[in-house]
Amino acid sequence: MNIFFWLLSLMACYSKNMALESNAMITKSEIILLCNKEGDCEFMGGITSGTASRILWKENYYWLTAGHVCNSKFEDALVLESKIKVIVANSGISEETEIIKIDYKKDLCLLKAQPNKTKSIAKNSPNPGDPVSATAYPGGIFDPKILPIYDGRWSGKITEDNLCLVTIPVAGGSSGGAIVNNNGEVVGVISSVLEDFNHVTVTPCYEDLLDFLESLDDAE
């Protein structure tokens, strides 16, 4: 009987926030021209990866991720070529996409997505100490059939910097992964991690996430 209820609990958890199709790995390839103050320039390029979650907002489908996943890390660089693709979990389909909205200050980005299963946006912010979890692909480790889940706690807000913290371990490639509450609803996005202690993760606060989404026009 205990095993039966455990299985029911596991199935409910999966149905709430573990749907593979609502997750994707993002790959971004760029060719940029970077010049210094002396006028010396060089061409640079590379491929980076991150994580995204599909959401439905105002009847439109988006991939939600971190702003720095969508944007070149070189602010003064001239981007000559940039392609962003998402590899959708479960199907493994690779789709080229485009940026719909980006906010560098909040470190949030929305990409165009095709209709499919989504994560819901929470109606309220978590309280300090509430359990949260995140889906992410650290190091670009991705397979369509895997779903890496990392658990932690919502720590609260650093008022001076207007940032929130969670105790979820992350590494490169995790950026953009949705942070969800116990109901599987999105409350934040993985932004960065403390260099000396990778179990303290920075996220835009829930209120900033909501402001970012509500600033979208009804029509793209």
Q: What is the pLDDT of residues 134-180, one digit of tens each?
A: 999 988 788 989 888 999 999 999 877 789 999 998 888 899 999 99
Same domain, 31 and 80: yes
Residue 8 lies in a domain: no
pLDDT above 60: residue 73: no
Same domain, 79 and 137: no
Same domain, 83 and 159: no
Last residue in a domain, options 65, 81, 112: 112
Q: What is the pLDDT of residues 185-202, one digit of tens each?
A: 999 999 988 777 778 899
Same domain, 135 and 206: yes
Residue 11 lies in a domain: no
Residues of the domain holding 61: 18-112
In CATH, what number is assigned to the domain containing residue 199?
2.40.10.10
Same domain, 103 and 147: no
What is the DSSP track for 46-100? EEEEEEEEEEEETTEEEEEE-HHHHS-S-TT-EEEEEEEEEEETTT--EEEE-EE
Residue 154 lies in a domain: yes
Give the number of domains in the chain.
2
